[in-house]
Structure 1
C-alpha cells in the first residue's frame, strides 16, 4: 500500500517534518510574530511555506500574511530586518532579509480579475479566513499563526496533502476567475509535486481555458518555465494540452499531435517531443552548471515544431518533413519572443532548433576533419547543449539503430576532443586577418575584404591551419579569379 492509498501515513510523516522545519525557522518567525502581535496585528506563516514545511522541503524563502497594512509592515520590519524593500507594495507585499532568510509579508488579500483586465484588482481582506479562501489550492491554504503556532486549515489542505491531490478552497470556477493563471499553476504543481489534479479542477480548466488570454505574457512565461524546470514536466504539459490551455499559450505543442493515417505511418511527433524532453533531462548532467537547464528543456520540447507546416505525404506512402528545422527555428523565435523570454534564451533555443538535424546531415558517421570543424563552428557556444539535444532526439525502439546512433555520436565527440587538442576549434579564424588581406591585395576596406576573409575561413575549415605563405598563396589564387582584380 502506498502513501497515496493510505494518506494517514503521509500525514503523520508530514506533521513530524513540519515540526522539525518550524523549529528550524522559529528564531526568526517567532520573533517576527511577537513583533507584529505587540503592535496589535496578526501574522502567520502561510501558503507554500507551510506546504513545503509539511513536505520537508522548506528552504530560506518564507511567506507570511498579516492583518497589517503595507506601511505598518514596513515600519515593523525597519530596525529589525537586515534589509527591507517595498517593490511589491502596490500588491500589498513588503520584503526583507533576516539572518539568511528571504522574507515576504503580504497583507490579507481578496484579489480578483475584472473580465477583460490583465492585472488583478488588489483588495485587502479583513481576516486570515478571507485570505485563505482566496488562495489558489487547498495545499497552499494552510497557515501557522505566530508566535503561538496555531495551525489554521479551514479547507482540509492537510488531508489533500496526504492524498496528494490538487483541489481549490472554493469552487474551481471562483478560484480561476480570481486569477486565471492558477489554471497553469495547477499543471505546474502536478509537474513539481507529482500530485493528481482533482477531476473538478481539470474540468474547470477545460471550460475556462480562454480566460488565460487576459493574463500577461510575462506571468504565463514564468509559470511555463517553472513547469519545465520541475521534476516531471510531462505531467504538467500533458494537462495543459488535454485541457486546451496549451492551445492558447503554446499552440505549437498541441499542433504536434498530427493525425495518424493508416496508409502513411509515422512517429507521433507530440509523444516523441515529450520523450526527447525527458531524455534531455536525463542527460543534463553533461552540461556545465548545476541544476535544470531551461534552454535545453525548451529546445527539446520545441525542436520539431516545424513539422506540422512541412509535412508532405509521399507517393510511395512515406511522410517527409523537409526543412522542418529551419521552419521550426523561425516558429520557436516567434513564440518565445511573444512570451517575453530574454533575448539570450530566444537566440539559444532558436539556434538549437535550427541545428538539431545537423548531425544526421553528415551521413554514416565517417566524418572528415572539415565536417567536424564546421559542426563545432556552427554550434558555437551551444555545442554542449547540441550534444545533449542530438542524443536525446533518438527515440527509436529499434535497439540496433539506437546503439548505432550512439556509437556514431560517441565517435563524433571523440573527434571533436582530438581536434580541439590540435586546434582552437571553438574560435576558428582564417589564417590571415583583415589588415593582412588588405596589405597583400593592396585594397582599401570594403566588401571585398569580407569576401576574402570568408573564403579563407572556408579554406581553414576544409584544410586546417595553414602557415602564412600558404595562406598568402591561397588568397592570391582566389583574388586572381575575382573581377575586381582586373581593375
Structure 2
C-alpha cells in the first residue's frame, strides 16, 4: 500500500531537519493547514476524472520545516480544462503563464499555481523552452530540476510520491538531479544556476556528478535570457549561504559566463609584488556585510559587497619596493558594476544604488584619524544620500585585516565618524540639506529669469551651505550677490 504523508511523520531527518511531528511540520500538516480547500480542490478534479497533486517546493519546504507560502499543484488536466474546473471556486484567476501550462489563482489567503503535467527542453539556439504536456505525475516529476523538488502528495488522498529519492537527499543534504544531470541541464541550462542557488539557500552540497556536469556544460548557460539568470543570481545572493553559491559558480566556470568580474579577482600574486587575495577578500566582505543586516537580506548591500573591488584587475600597477597599487579602482569598479548589472537587466534603481556604493566605498579612508572638517563630513553624508546606512555597513565590512590592532583602530575611527555624523545630523538635519535660498528667491534677489543661471546660483549656495553650515538668509544673500558680481550676473 502506498505511503501516505502521515506515514512520513515517523521518518526523522537528522539534526535541524527533523520531520517528526514533535518538531517540524511535514507534508500532512501542511495539507491540514490548507484544508478544506486543498482536499476540496482535489475532490473537484477527481470528480471530473482528473488527477491533482501538491508538488515541488512546498513539499520540500514542509519536510524541512521551512515556511510555505505559495502552493504549486500539478494535474493531467490541460490549461483550458483547469480554467473550467476552478471557475466559480477560485476567488481570482490569472493566465499570465498559460502558454507554459500554468494557471494562477487565489483562494482566500492562499495563492496557488496549477500546472499541467509537462516536459520542457531547449532548442540549442533558443532562449525559451519548448513545452509539451505529459500524462503522468511520475513523468512530470522526472523532468523537474532536482530530486528534492521531485516529491509530491496526491490529492485528496495525501499519498506521498517520491520516485527519485528526494526524501533521502533531504536527509543527506544533497542536491542531485532526478536522472542524468547532463540530460537535465541539456533540457534547461538554467538548472545549473539553480543548483548553486539551492546550495546557497539550503546549505546543501551539490553531488559530484552534478558539479561535473555543470563544469562540462557551463557554456550552455549563454542561451538563457539575462532576466532568468538575474533572478537566479539574486535568489542565490539572498540565501543564507551565499558565499557557498558564489564559490560554486566560480569553481564550475559558470561565473565566467554570467558574472565574469568575480573570477577575474583571482589575481596572480608573485614573490616580489604581494597584495591580499582580492577574490577571497571580496567573499569575506560579503559575509561581513551580511552579518550586519538588521531587517532581513539586503540585495543592494550584498551586490555592492561582492562587486566593490571588481575595478582592481584593470587598475593594478606595480611600483618600487614591491608595492602594488589600484588607483581609482572604485571609479572604474562603479562603471563596471553599472555595465554588468545593466546587462543582467537589474532595475535602474538597483543599478544606480549598487554602483554608487562601489564608487563611495573608499571615501572613508580619507578621514585618516579624524582630520575631516565638518564641511567634509557634510559632503560625505550628502554624497551618500539615502545609501548612508548601507555605506556604513559596507565600509565596516571592507576591513578584513588579520591585524587586530589595525582592525580595532579602523573600527574606532569609523565609530568617531558616525558620532560626528549623528551630532551634525541632529544639529543640521544633514540628510535634508538645501541652500538657504530657493530658486524663486534667487531670481528675485538677482533680478533674473528662470534658466541655467538659476541652477548655477543654486549649486553655489549648496556648496556654501556644505562648507559653512547654516549661515542664515541674510549672509546667504550677501554671498550670492558677491558671487553674481564675479559672474557678471544681475
- TM-score bucket (shorter structure): over 0.9
> Does the residue aligned with 1:316 lie in a helix, a strand or coil?
helix
194-203 or 453-462, larger mean C-alpha shift: 453-462
CA distance in 2, matches of 1:381, 1:304: 22
CA contact (8 A) 2:126 2:223 kept: yes
Contact 2:12-2:19 at 8 Å conserved across structures: no
The aligned runs of 1:294-333 (5 Å cut-off) are: 294-333=299-338
Offset of residue 340 of structure 1: 0.5
Give the superposition deviation at 1:25.
2.5
Name the residue aligned to 1:218: 227
Shift of 1:427: 1.9
| Matched pairs, number | 476
Equivalent residue number for residue 60 of structure 2: 51
| Equivalent residue, structure 2, for 1:151 | 160
Please state how far the C-alpha of 1:439 moved relative to its aligned partner: 2.9
Mean alpha-carbon deviation: is it higher for 258-267 or for 37-46? 258-267
Does residue 368 of structure 1 match 2:377?
no
Report the Cα offset of residue 51 of structure 1.
Answer: 0.6
**Deviation at residue 7 of structure 1 after TM alignment:** 8.1
1:69 to 66, 78, 84: 78
Q: Note the alpha carbon deviations across 1:223-274, whole angstroms, 9 max, x for none.
A: 0000011101001000000000001001111111111222111111111111
On the 8 A contact 1:277/1:300 being kept in 2, the answer is yes
Q: CA deviation at 1:169?
A: 0.6
Partner of 1:3: none
Q: TM-score under structure 2 normalisation?
A: 0.94
Given that 2:12 and 2:18 are in contact with CA atoms closer than 8 Å, whether structure 1 keeps it comes out as no
Partner Cα separation in structure 2 for residue 372 and residue 10 of structure 1: 50
Q: Give the drift of 1:455.
A: 1.9
SS in structure 2 at match of 1:160: helix
Which of 130, 139, 150 matches 1:121?
A: 130
Match of 1:346 in 2: 351
Structure 1 pair 142–452 and aligned structure 2 pair: CA distance change class (3 A):
same
Residue 85 of structure 1 contacts residue 96 of structure 1 at CA under 8 Å; is this kept in 2? Answer: yes
Shift of 1:150: 1.2
Q: 1:189 aligns with which of 190, 193, 198?
A: 198
Residue 228 (str. 1) matches residue 233 (str. 2): no
Shift of 1:424: 2.3
Write the deviation string for residues 370-411 of structure 1: whole angstroms up to 9, x where unpaired. Answer: 111101110111111111111111111111111111111111
Using the TM superposition, name which of 413-422 and 178-187 deviates more. Answer: 413-422
Tell me how far 1:15 sits from its aligned partner.
5.5
Residue 381 (str. 1) matches residue 386 (str. 2): yes
CA change 1:332–1:236 in 2 (3 A) is same
Preserved contact between residue 199 and residue 245 of structure 2 (Cα < 8 Å): yes
Find the aligned partners of 1:101 and 1:121 in 2 and give their Cα distance: 30
Q: Give SS of 2:58's match.
A: helix
Q: Cα distance, 1:156 vs. partner?
A: 1.0
Are 1:441 and 2:450 matched, yes or no? no
- Asked whether 1:419 is paired with 2:410, we answer no
Which one is further off, 195-204 or 444-453? 444-453
1:8 Cα offset (Å): 5.8
> Superposed, which structure 2 residues align to 1:261-272 within 5 Å?
261-272=270-281
Partner of 2:90: 81
Q: Distance between the aligned counterparts of 1:378 and 1:8, measured in 2?
A: 51
**Aligned residue for 1:180?**
189
CA distance in 1, matches of 2:15, 2:171: 5
1:103 aligned residue (112, 126, 135)? 112
Structure-2 separation of matches of 1:8 and 1:283: 31
Asked if the contact 2:17–2:64 (Cα under 8 Å) also holds between the matched residues in 1, the reply is no
Q: In the aligned structure 2, how far is the partner of 1:68 from the partner of 1:113?
A: 24
Residue in 2 aligned with 1:337?
342
CA displacement at 1:412 relative to structure 2: 1.2
- Moved beyond 6 Å, runs of 4+: none
Does the 8 Å contact 1:21/1:58 carry over to 2? no
Q: Which moved more, 1:224-233 or 1:367-376?
A: 367-376
User: How far is 1:12 from its partner?
Assistant: 9.1
Where 1:122 maps in the other structure, the secondary structure is strand
CA drift of 1:10 comes to 6.1
CA shift for structure 1 position 102: 1.1
Contact persistence 2:56–2:150 (CA under 8 A)? yes
Matched, 1:244 2:253: yes
Judge which range, 377-386 or 440-449, deviates more: 440-449
Shift of 1:135: 0.6
How far is the alpha carbon of 1:94 from its aligned partner? 0.5
Q: Would the aligned equivalents of 1:11 and 1:159 in 2 still touch at CA under 8 Å?
A: no
Q: Is the 8 A contact 1:7 1:159 kept in 2?
A: no
Unpaired runs of 5+ residues, structure 2, are 1-10
Q: Distance in 2 between matches of 1:15 and 1:129?
A: 26
Look up the SS of the partner of 1:459 in the other structure. Answer: helix
Distance 2:228 2:13 in 1: 36
